[in-house]
Structure 1
Amino acid sequence: MVGAVAVVGAVGAVAALVGCAGSGPGGAAGGAPAVVLEIAPVTTPTLREVDTTPPTEGDAAQIRALHGMVRIKGGSFTMGFSGCDADEAPEHEVKVGAFWMDVTEVTAEAYAQCVDAGTCTEGVATSGIPGQSPSEGAMQCNAGRAERARHPMNCVTWRQAEAYCKAQGKRLPSEEEWEFAARGVKGRMFPWGDTFDGEKLCWNRAEGTCPVGDFPEGVTPEGLLDMAGNVWEWTTSAYCSYDDPGCSDETFVDRGGAWASDDERLVHAAHRGRGNDEVWASYIGFRCVRTP
């Protein structure tokens, strides 16, 4: 049975993140979604690719697969944050190999194409789960809404996200890859730098998601958009403590904060959220990676 509630946590940032003192693991990512009254027309953002040289010259299929992605060069960085939630500590050095990552979160339009091809299963629509009464949690789901075609696909479970990425010849990122992409080798506190700026992300709102790429000022130096806010993003990593990475926890880490997050500690790049593989929520989506 598909669940409607994910457990999401809080985060710390540079010396003093607002709202960080005394907070612990867990907590909701914002309040209950509100009913959408009107949605402005959606325009397709201009997506910037960085280092577009394909890893295998002449492989047309691989070149097509890498469209809309940026290459994240491998390197080492300090993962985690010691100064807020216990599950973010201890800070530790991690080495990550090179990979390619989607510039934006997977859109409702792209996911619908996978459904139409018979490869993906339908996400929860605003009307809710077939055979069940519509729930408040589904009011901000983007599936089946033409005006939200360029919004991130949400209301899909971890398994649905994994299946979509696999159908594209990609996969979900690991927690290490996601944080490295958001922070870079210098360990930025936020995707764009070390200082929080509420104008650089889709957050603290009641009307649901924003079109992907709608906050170009929040881009990472490597060219990734929406790595903070809009929707939390699934990873392949089990929710284990950093001291026990091989634990048997059956929930998965999600990252990045969402449209409903109402505190900067919820969108800090070191934050760790979690949910099981049957969870869906209007504030959880995903993007894919590829290791050519």
Structure 2
Amino acid sequence: MKETNEIKPCCAASRSNFQEEKTPAEKATVSSGSAFQEKLIYIPGGEFWMGTEDEEGFPGDGEGPVRKVQVKPFYMDAHTVTNAEFDAFVRDTGYVTEAEQYRWSFVFHHFISKQAGQVQQLPDTPWWYGVDEAFWYQPEGPGSTIEDRMDHPVTHVSWNDAEAFSKWAGKRLPTEAEWEYAARGGLEQNRYPWGNELTPGGEYYCNIWQGKFPFENTKEDGYASTAPSVSFPPNGYGLYNVSGNVWEWCSDYFSTNPSPASDQDTPMVIRGGSYLCHHSYCNRYRVAARSMNTKDSSTGNMGFRCAADV
């Protein structure tokens, strides 16, 4: 496994790098409902070997040791929450995301809109910029739109935003163990949700970076940024895009030890990797890979999917 204790900010840039205050927003009424239940897939409970000691992994991320974990039966969304679904939530509740309250969010340098005003570069990572007025509905800043991406995963949502949506939908965020169990699709200790080979038969099974990161993306998988939430073949449980596309928030606090953390100031776990992951720099599209971010952070490569109790 690769020897590193650093979680690289290509994974998901953190708002903690900047000390700025949110603009106060009126609290929306977030009522528990039963929205989008039809996309839930039953995941049978059982034991599985969680984590990895693969030479491709990052021990500093707490991917290991491999340990046996018991998971109760639960439901998991077949795909990440889409722009259309989040739009329905906002229209119903008047919810204001944290990116809107801060009035900026992180955008990858290739995608910053031409009409963007003030931008602030993340220290030590020339590819991440804090872009004024970059929100979930204009993900690259002023002048950009989601109108042709309503079936893509919603981005620029913080953990707190994802939690609010989940409650409104009558669901919850998955635990990290549930996420990995479901993402493995019934396979045991495989590197990816479909097996151990990244491109079986030369076919792409996920949306990640091809080319030279962070300068050139050859888009051999068909996408430079997000792909529709239902893209590429699903895994053995019928889940789409659990590798690549967007990082997904989990309900757990991040810890590099098998014992979960519980400190309110501790960052939260994100899983799955994103369209910015590349084998030369951040191969965290592996099913055991993990990263973290603060509860109020939002980027153009972080989204979420929901779970529910049986």
Which stretches of structure 1, 4 residues or longer, exceed 6 Å deviation after superposition?
none
C-alpha separation between the residues in 2 aligned to 1:265 and 1:122? 29
Contact 1:31 1:260 in 2 (8 A): no
- Change in Cα spacing, 1:28 to 1:222, as seen in structure 2 (3 Å) is same
Q: Which residue in 2 is equivalent to 1:258?
A: 274
Contact 2:42 2:74 in 1 (8 A): yes
- CA drift of 1:213 comes to 1.4
Larger relative contact order, structure 1 or 2 (CA cutoff 8 Å, min sep 6) = 1
Task: Check whether the contact 1:25–1:85 (CA below 8 A) recurs between aligned residues.
Answer: no
1:275 to 2:280 alignment: no
SS at match of 1:273: strand
Report the CA distance between 1:245 and its aligned residue.
2.2
Task: Calculate the aligned-residue CA RMSD, in Å.
Answer: 2.8
Q: Give ranges in structure 2 of 5+ residues lacking alignment.
A: 14-32, 106-115, 120-128, 138-144, 211-216, 218-223
Deviations 1:120-176 (A, max 9, x none): 324748xx639x955445598652520111110010100000100110000000000
Which residue pairs with 2:205 in the alignment? 200
Gaps of 5+ in 1: 1-19, 33-60
- How many residue pairs get aligned? The number is 239
Whether 2:178 is the aligned partner of 1:177: answer: yes
- Corresponding position of 2:58: 85
Q: Report the counterpart of residue 30 of structure 2 in structure 1.
A: none
The aligned runs of 1:115-126 (5 Å cut-off) are 115-118=90-93, 120-122=95-97, 124=99
Shift of 1:262: 1.5
Give the distance between the partners of 2:85 and 2:118, measured in 1 at CA: 24
Identity of aligned residues (%): 28
| Corresponding position of 1:213 | 230
1:192 positional shift = 1.2
Which of 278-287 and 263-272 deviates more?
263-272
Does structure 2 conserve the Cα–Cα contact (< 8 Å) formed by 1:108 and 1:148?
yes
Which is richer in strand?
A: 2
> Which letter does structure 2 place at the counterpart of 1:257?
G
Which TM-score applies when normalising by structure 1? 0.73
- Alignment-mate amino acid for residue 112 of structure 1: D
Say whether 1:233 aligns with 2:248: yes
